[in-house]
Structure 1
């Protein structure tokens, strides 16, 4: 009864949830410590015993209700016509609810979710390595985060499945008394006794539905926080996979030692044709490639255009501001003020495909200011040596040159316009 009101009466669940909570705060949890906390401790053994006693108590309560139901069912007086119609309707509805319970007591949704998370977690290292093999150099935290998530999941996976199996077995046991009462109901038929029996069946079905809902919530509550972290990791990997796919589709050429940071489908507001294509942010440049079919009418004819319309050193972005426009803020706009090395003084571009302009603003700012110290693939020693030896002042007018980016081969002085070879 306390469990149905929301209070926890399950020591096993409490111990498991506590272990998961502890794992979430530990950078690299030790599997042995977590496993001991859940299945090797005296607390876990006591919890299992408490669960058995609780199951016995629930079974005893059901048997008492069954006895009362059979006693009330002895009245064989038939129902009148209106009562019969209501009786048959209620019986059919209860039968459908019971058939649904036959499936739900197995906690199938939880079972499937645990299987999915096991599969996702085991595949994470290979997916991250595939990103590195394709040349993605950033988000260095991927490897460590995947390792921590695997250790946490390995520590709790078996115990979660065992706990789910125990809950499902206890719930399945509660089905048999209801099935027996349906058999009795078929014998009694539409009588006063049958109507009393039907009311008891309805009560037992409602009680079991509540227990199933509570069991689902309880098991899911034990691993919700860890599930969110695993699902977030999978989304982050898919995001980078999408960026790499855009770069491959565009067949964009990057300079030696230049690394892609992020990419998006985009539309450049040039004040005229508003070409559509791809926007790429690398550790050196901001690039817009037109990539669309132009000409033709009503979807017929025309030709595919794939051409870089502009590129600029990312350091030339002096200011960037995200703006949500359109109905309900559905258009993600970037407004930029540009300096030396850029082909324009300002530009506006819409990022598409579900990209958030605020995230783009944040990362363009970070890249332009050199704050992206998150490489997983280190630059070559030759490039580092080039950066160390690069001039900081213009050889013509003495002004300070723009910040040099990795792989950059020249820099333009924003004051006198001279180009300094690096």
Structure 2
């Protein structure tokens, strides 16, 4: 009976026969092509909807040079015209070779090797390891671990990444400062484009090739050193000496690899860093100008330098503030917090922020400029001093400034360039026309006041009105004709 009941229960496995609905063609019910038909919106030509050129076009204004646009060599300059759009990441045509794989020799490796080797040498295995020998083993292992890390060449990979990033970002940053009023450094745009071309088409490919060669050699040297260090037996001096020799050889190879690659990109890295310094100085200078409520630049007046300064008005001390140099004026603005009330004669109880322009003279009124370094100890901590003597027409006879963070020699040289007009040659092309217009305006003032007939001195470039010193009349430049 039980067997008959079991026979009656056999039909349940029949659901397996659901595959029989397909007969001998089990593949017909399956429809793998159907998911593919989701692209039927493009008809029999699925490729037109794809737009691979579009991502490439996003970097045509400043990214890597694309082989599809050889007719547009001037585009690297225009990559800064995208406004606030973040600069695209620099995507070189070839990835850098990967550094050697990590080979970490654990401290226990030598101990295990010592146990195995000790069994082979018999009685020597039971001897106590001499302290000086154990010290050698520890030293060779530590040196290997340090060199294994150095063999990754992480500093080199980081330096290459920084150069890539700076060559992409600096044109955008320079354009921002241009929009804020930085009109000089006219060769910076061309310099950045030239550096970018030199890096992409010459230096970087050579760096990639050299890296590939050096990584292969480091791999081989690491294998040998790793093998020797793993075999170290503190009770067998010969194994320690072999490990020391292998590690010393690895050290020479790592140094050679670093020097070979670094020597290729170091010169252009220095040039890029110098361009970055100029752009950063321009940004900091404009930030300081924006922080002034009293200083207003004239038409076509271009700022050149700005530095935190102490004006030695009375001997060797005085108000602290910011010294500005433009292509027309030298301006010192006191900008410091001054204690107005003390508690117990010692502690600050009240203070106020003083921001006041004390010196505002034309650069052509500077008759003598000198610079020097004072104080310090063994060449350290010297103070950069800028001393100026002014003409009788200026509202101040002389001034002495302690510059903090910049060289007084650079300031003296820049003042001379302004006085000779040489600095005007350094204007960016977009601001040359404004310079000419400002010169025409300053030359259009009458020679005498139309109200009291007092003589009107020659007006500086960019001045749009003159207040007569005698009658107070406001005189405007005359219209041509």
Normalization by structure 1: what TM-score? 0.72
Alignment correspondent of 1:268: 311
Once the two structures are superposed, residues 350-405 of structure 1 have per-residue CA deviations (whole angstroms, 9 ceiling, x without a partner) of 222x1111111111122133221211123536424214545689998999x56833
Matched, 1:88 2:134: yes
Q: Quick check: 1:356 aligned with 2:410?
A: no
Which whole-Å CA distance do the structure 2 matches of 1:228 and 1:145 have between them?
Answer: 13
- Residues 152/300 of structure 1: CA separation in 2 closer, same or farther (3 Å cut): farther
Deviation at 1:343, TM superposition (A): 0.8
Q: Is contact 1:258-1:407 (8 Å) kept?
A: no
Cross-structure match for 1:196: 238
Structure 2 residue aligned with 1:220: 262
In 2, Cα distance between equivalents of 1:263 and 1:108: 37
Shift of 1:283: 2.2
Picking from 285, 300, 309, the partner of 2:329 is 285
Q: Over residues 130-155 of structure 1, what are the superposed CA-to-partner deviations in whole Å (9 max), with x where a residue is unaligned? A: 11011111111111111111111112
Instruction: Pick the structure with greater CA Rg.
Output: 2
CA RMSD, Structure 1 to Structure 2 (Å): 3.3
Measure how far apart 1:323 and its partner are: 2.3
* Paired position in structure 2 for 1:128: 174
State yes or no: 1:370 paired with 2:370.
no
1:20-44 superposed Cα distances (whole Å, 9 cap, x missing partner): xxxxxxxx9xxxxxxxxxxxxxxxx
1:98 aligned partner: 144
TM, length-normalised to structure 2: 0.64
Counterpart among 379, 386, 407 of residue 441 in structure 2: 386
Corresponding position of 2:301: 258
Out of 144, 153, 159, which is 1:107 matched to? 153
Offset at residue 259 of structure 1 (A): 2.1
Contact preservation (8 Å) 2:234, 2:240 = no
Matched, 1:175 2:217: no
Change (3 A) 1:184 1:133: same
Within a 5 Å distance, the mapping from 1:1-80 to structure 2 comes to 78=124
Residue aligned with 1:78, SS:
helix
Where does 1:275-314 land on structure 2 (aligned, <5 Å)?
Answer: 275-295=319-339, 296-297=341-342, 298-314=347-363
Q: Deviations 1:203-258 (Å, cap 9, x if unpaired)?
A: 01001101111110111112222111111111121111121111122243223332
> For residues 415 and 307 of structure 2, what CA distance do their matches in structure 1 show?
13
1:343 corresponds to:
395
On the 8 A contact 1:340/1:412 being kept in 2, the answer is no
Match of 2:194 among 148, 155, 161: 148
Q: Secondary structure at the match of 2:267?
A: helix
Q: Name the SS of the counterpart of 1:250 in structure 2.
A: coil
1:405 is matched with 461
Equivalent residue number for residue 322 of structure 1: 371
> What does residue 279 of structure 2 align with?
237
Displacement after TM superposition at 1:340 (Å): 4.6
Q: Structure 1 residues 119 and 299, CA, compared in 2 at 3 Å: closer, same or farther?
A: farther
Matched, 1:161 2:208: yes
Query: What residue in structure 2 maps to residue 67 of structure 1?
Result: none
Matched position secondary structure for 2:318: coil
Q: Which has the higher contact order (CA 8 A, sep 6+)?
A: 1
Displacement after TM superposition at 1:98 (Å): 1.2
How many residue pairs align between the two structures?
341
In structure 1, list runs of 5 or more residues that go unmatched.
Answer: 1-27, 29-70, 414-418
Q: Distance in 1 between matches of 2:427 and 2:465?
A: 21
- 2:311–2:400 contact (8 Å) kept in structure 1: yes
Please give the secondary structure, in 2, of the residue aligned with 1:302: strand
Q: Which runs of 5+ in 2 are unaligned?
A: 1-72, 74-116
Deviation at 1:420, TM superposition (A): 8.3
Greater mean deviation of Cα atoms: 201-210 or 106-115? 106-115
2: distance between equivalents of 1:378 and 1:301? 49
Q: 1:201 to 1:77 in 2, by over 3 A?
A: farther
